[in-house]
Amino acid sequence: MGFDEVHKMDITGDGVDETVGVRRNEDGSVEYHVDVDGDGVADMKAVDNDGDGVIDAVLLDNDGDGKYDTAAVDLDGDGQIDAAVEK
């Protein structure tokens, strides 16, 4: 399953461009898969559930093992992250 678009942009603010794969789903949601450490595997996945341009949830792989271990969500739809859970 490929990406609809791939971009290079500095997501982390460190002056180095990360690779961002964009997937537009049939249900209208948009996923942004970000390779933060340059190993070819996404370390962050940001999801816009309704395609309105506002991120509703973010999944993070903090230890680089290829599995997401932190989830942060915007519970009330105001564009601000309200809750985070780490396993």
Direct distance between the N- and C-terminal alpha carbons of the chain, in angstroms, rounded to an integer: 27
One pLDDT digit (tens) per residue for the chain, 87 residues: 589 999 999 999 999 999 999 999 999 999 999 999 999 999 999 999 999 999 999 999 999 898 999 999 999 888 899 999 998
DSSP letter assigned to residue 49: T
What are the sequence ranges of the domains in the chain? 5-86
